[in-house]
């Protein structure tokens, strides 16, 4: 119950940000994508649910028709529908892993299988990070491991500027050639979704 209350409060804070604020988007241009697409997470943090909420707030896509939220996906889920893309929101917490009942090693193994299957079926993966930088300098940090599992094989990265304070994603872009779009804050994700999944041009 406490977890649900905390999540609701967090989402209320997100939604309380003024809708009239101008979106600040920089870096590489928005990449046109096709519907339907899957939204999920890597790391079992709250980012996946936040991403799903922001997509619903875009107001241009239909839940369970244009997009599907899959809480804990597996490789087989990539084949569940003719997905035009998979949006993986990165972020790990001990609480999230504990609630799911898996270790970070098991989580990374699962994510690796999802990424491999997406690559086999040519489904583009969009790596997203919507939360402020919580990473440590330890290479075994859970968030770092999720980034390493997803971003180098992704087709596009979308991250908030506060998650790239050390240039982590700039380095991935340079090394692997993955386009990188920077958001001023998580609410700007709404505008990116509206542009990327514009159904009249993406289908």
| 18-75 residue pLDDT tens | 333 445 899 999 999 999 999 999 988 888 999 999 999 999 999 999 999 998 899 9
What pLDDT sits at residue 138?
Answer: 58
Q: Quick one: pLDDT band at residue 129, thresholds 50, 70, 90?
A: very high
Taken in order 38, 39, 40, 41, is the CA torsion positive or negative?
positive
Q: Please give the pLDDT value at position 95.
A: 73
27 sits in the region (left: phi over 0; alpha: psi -120 to 50; else beta) called: left
**Strand 67-69 vs strand 37-42: parallel, antiparallel, or unpaired?**
parallel
At 5, the pLDDT band (50, 70, 90 cuts) reads very low
CA distances (Å), origin 101, targets 70, 105, 107, 149, 158: 17, 12, 10, 20, 28
| H helix runs in 1-135, sequence order | 2-15, 47-58, 94-100, 104-120
C-alpha dihedral, 149 to 161 to 156 to 113, nearest 10°: 20
Straight-line distance from the first to the last Cα atom of the chain, in angstroms, rounded to the nearest whole number:
41
Residue corresponding to tokens 């050639």:
177
Tokens standing for residue 82: 């003719």
Give Cα 140 distance to the centre of its chain: 20
């Amino acid at each position: 119950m406490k977890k649900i209350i905390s999540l609701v409060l967090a989402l209320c804070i997100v939604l309380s940000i003024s809708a009239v604020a101008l979106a600040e988007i920089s870096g590489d241009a928005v990449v046109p994508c096709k519907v339907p697409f899957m939204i999920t997470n890597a790391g079992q943090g709250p980012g996946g649910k936040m991403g799903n909420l922001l997509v619903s707030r875009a107001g241009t896509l239909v839940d369970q028709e244009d997009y599907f939220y899959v809480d804990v996906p597996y490789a087989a889920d990539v084949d569940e529908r003719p997905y035009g893309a998979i949006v993986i929101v990165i972020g790990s917490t001990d609480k999230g892993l504990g609630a799911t009942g898996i270790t970070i090693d098991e989580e990374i193994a699962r994510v690796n299988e999802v990424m491999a299957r997406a690559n086999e079926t040519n489904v583009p993966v969009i790596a997203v990070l919507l939360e402020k930088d919580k990473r440590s300098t330890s290479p075994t940090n859970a968030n770092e491991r999720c980034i390493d599992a997803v971003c180098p094989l992704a087709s596009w990265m979308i991250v908030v500027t506060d998650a790239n304070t050390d240039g982590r994603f700039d380095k991935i872009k340079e090394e692997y050639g993955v386009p990188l779009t920077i958001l001023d804050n998580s609410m700007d994700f709404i505008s990116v979704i509206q542009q990327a999944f514009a159904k009249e041009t993406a289908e």
